[in-house]
Structure 1
Amino acid sequence: MSAGSTARARPLAGRKPFLTAAGAPLTREIAILDEFGERRGIHIPAERPLTVYVDKRELVTLMTLGASPELLVLGYLLNQRLIASADEIDAITVDWEVEAAAVQTRGGIGDIDARTARRIVTTGCGQGTVFGDLLTALDAVRLPGAQAARIRQGTLHGLLEVVRQQNSIHRKAGSVHGCALFRGAEMLMFIEDVGRHNAIDTIAGWMALNGVEGADKVFYTTGRLTSEMVMKSAQMGVPIIVSRNGVTAMGYDMASKLGMTLFGRASNRHFLCYTGFERFDAEPEPQRAPVRVVAGG
């Protein structure tokens, strides 16, 4: 994980919550037998459960690598709209011996039973879950200051090159998704987890803890752009999303309604801009000459 020290921030209204720093080993080495009959060691992601308790009430179990579990929990609560800001949290304590995160709020969460009674299992890797009518609450979502957000094609290329050079768990062990927050082509934070929804929640937690606003930022993910990912980016105030993967119809419709810009199939110098063309300053690549196939005699 990396964070830039110059990211524009707004101070929290109160004191920051206390967070433990209970990062866990991200990979584990196992012995495998390959197609050549050779036995050798490889690394695999160390997925583990983390049960979240809010004011001693069990809320949910998240399957995670555990890179920054406290930020994951904070971002999860924010993106589920169970809290409005980090100011509402007094402490988040993670203990891997009991695989639990204890959240202590400053004033409780009102109507938590009713607000978490209805669960929707999403298409998120590792089986994401959202509570209530979160995915349909578009009218309440605002993107303050995002009208001025723009991205140049050259900046997009630079962003993708930074991601390409990132030393990642995926290169070593595979089976994870990566997410990053950018200002221009500067990477402010990068995180990997077994599910892309965990990774974006961790970034949301980092932003909230450090008072970082999203209007001038770009969110990058290796995962597909589903309605869940689009909604979470919008709740973080980030209007521009770049994905190495594609977009679902529901994600497309949601981004169109919210006025967001989506890039998909983005890798190296290739991309597709699905929505929000008005934010994109295109610098088109020259068209390649068609390859002529000559029949051999």
Structure 2
Amino acid sequence: MPTFEDEEPLAFDAVQLPRRADAPRLNQVRGTLLRRIEIVDQHGERRDIDIPAERPLTVFVDKRELVTLMTLGAAPGLLVLGYLLNQDLIRHASDVESIDVDWSVDAAAVKTHRGIDGLAEKTARRVVTTGCGQGTVFGDAMAQIGAVQLPTSQSARIAQDTLLRILELMKSRNSVHRQAGSVHGCALFSGTEMLVFVEDVGRHNAIDSIAGWMAVHGIDGGDKVFYTTGRLTSEMVMKSAHMGVPIIVSRNGVTAMGHELAGKLGMTLFGRAAGRHFLCYCGFERFDADPMPCAPAQALAAD
């Protein structure tokens, strides 16, 4: 039986769905995911290991330089499209005619149908975000709260057995992180079915790639669950809400601002979620809990 190390890890994996007729043309040129280097370990032994091949991707919109994203390059066209959508620089995927990625010059050329109104004004204010990849948000993300429309708790819910199955599926994936570490993974679920999985050097890139995939295929987020290995900051919560996904599961924790924003939007956040353990931070009304009996103190100490 092959081991994970014998297989090529999948940093992008998605179910096959038809594209929207008005979706932009994307040349999905995947970058090289891993680079092999020599290391010396704590025993003084030399050996070869794989590390993620981070690279810059400079985005040009209608020949104007916009931003440089540091990325693994697993789904660059979707990443750029999702970035434009989540930054509210475009409203619909159909606003874009094409996205061409050329790794020989580390650039992505975006061609829109009618340009982006007020692009200079929209990009004048930059906020450097937290953590991996040092993301950038243009404008005031908090100002978008009033425009977000999420489904009610009656139509968008998650049961505890569904949550535990999602955690089990994520643990079993053959991933770049399992083989080489140093990346974040995000996924979109419909029930217990994984629709799309993306890994990148930053959680921001991974969620943007999922947003791009949803837009290309016309996927509604109202009945979906978003999973991430990264912590739930205000930006991650806002992006999930912008995608219409009201339920987020994270292997990590949540910041105070992320928690406050999710509460205002009526979202459900799960954190510290791994194995059969989790914390539901807010949005309890969307959660159909099935509490497990408390383990004896001795068992808890051994866990």
TM-score normalized with structure 2 length:
0.92
Residue 269 of structure 1 aligns with which residue? 276
2:48 is matched with: 41
The answer to whether 1:248 aligns with 2:232 is: no
Q: Which residue of 1 aligns with 2:185?
A: 178
Any conservation in 1 of the 2:186–2:199 contact (CA below 8 Å)? yes
Residues 201 and 124 of structure 1, relative CA distance in 2, 3 Å threshold: farther
Partner in structure 1 of residue 297 of structure 2: 290
C-alpha distance in structure 1 between counterparts of 2:296 and 2:208, whole Å: 44
1:46 is displaced (CA, Å) by: 0.2
**d(CA) in 1 for partners of 2:154, 2:239:** 18
**Larger mean Cα displacement after TM superposition, 129-138 or 157-166:** 129-138
Q: Which runs of 5+ in 2 are unaligned?
A: 1-11
Aligned length: 288
Among candidates 222, 232, 235, match of residue 229 of structure 2:
222
Task: Compute the displacement of 1:146 (Å).
Answer: 6.3
1:232-289, Cα deviation, whole Å (9 max, x unpaired): 0000000000000000000000000000000000000000000100010001111112
Deviation for aligned residue 1:136:
3.5
Distance between the aligned counterparts of 1:33 and 1:264, measured in 2?
A: 35
How far apart are 1:142 and its partner, in Å? Answer: 1.5
Residue 174 of structure 1, CA deviation? 0.4
- Runs (4+) of structure 1 exceeding 3 A deviation are 144-147
Counterpart AA for 2:174: N
Q: Answer whether contact 1:146 1:238 (CA < 8 A) is retained.
A: no
Change in Cα spacing, 1:277 to 1:145, as seen in structure 2 (3 Å) is: closer
Q: Could you tell me which of 149, 162, 166 is aligned with 1:155? A: 162
Matched with 2:22 is: 15
Measure, in 2, the Cα distance between the counterparts of 1:198 and 1:116: 18
Q: Counterparts of 1:145 and 1:82 in 2: how far apart (Å)?
A: 27
Contact between 2:86 and 2:239, CA under 8 Å: does it hold in 1? yes
1:122 maps to 129
Q: Which residue of 2 aligns with 1:105?
A: 112
Match of 2:100 in 1: 93
Find the residue that maps to 2:297 and give its secondary structure: coil
The 5 Å alignment of 1:61-80 reads 61-80=68-87
| Contact kept? 1:135, 1:228, Cα under 8 Å | no
Question: RMSD between aligned alpha carbons?
Answer: 1.5
Residue 55 in 1 paired to residue 62 in 2? yes
Q: Distance in 1 between matches of 2:145 and 2:199?
A: 28
Cα distance in 1 for partners of 2:182, 2:297 equals 37
Letter in 2 for 1:70: G
1:181–1:188 Cα contact (<8 Å) kept = yes
8 Å CA contact 2:153–2:285 kept in 1: the answer is no
Does the 8 Å contact 1:51/1:59 carry over to 2? Answer: yes
Alignment-mate amino acid for residue 3 of structure 1? A
CA distance in 2, matches of 1:38, 1:125: 30
* Displacement of 1:15: 2.5
Deviations 1:121-179 (A, max 9, x none): 00041101000112343112112466510100000000000000010000111000000
Which residue identity is paired with 1:191? V
Deviates more, 1:134-143 or 1:29-38: 134-143
Q: 1:71 to 1:145 in 2, by over 3 A?
A: farther
Other-structure match for 1:295? none
Q: Which residue of 2 aligns with 1:140?
A: 147
C-alpha contact (below 8 Å) 1:150/1:281 kept by paired residues: yes
Q: Give the match for residue 4 of structure 1.
A: 15
Structure 1 gap ranges (5+): 293-297
Matches of 1:284 and 1:262 in 2, distance apart? 17
The alpha-carbon distance between structure 1 residues 83 and 124, as it changes in their structure 2 partners (threshold 3 A), is farther
Q: Name the structure 2 match of 1:208.
A: 215
Q: Distance in 2 between matches of 1:88 and 1:260?
A: 28
Distance in 1 (CA, whole Å) between partners of 2:298 and 2:129 is: 43
Q: Could you tell me how far 1:35 is from its partner in structure 2?
A: 1.2
Q: 1:145 to 1:87 in 2, by over 3 A?
A: farther
C-alpha distance in structure 1 between counterparts of 2:227 and 2:176, whole Å: 16
Q: Deviations over 1:50-95 (max 9, x none)?
A: 0000000000000000000000000000000000110000000000
Matches of 1:147 and 1:71, distance apart in 2: 31
The AA in structure 2 aligned to 1:201 is D
- The one-letter code matched in structure 1 to 2:29 is A
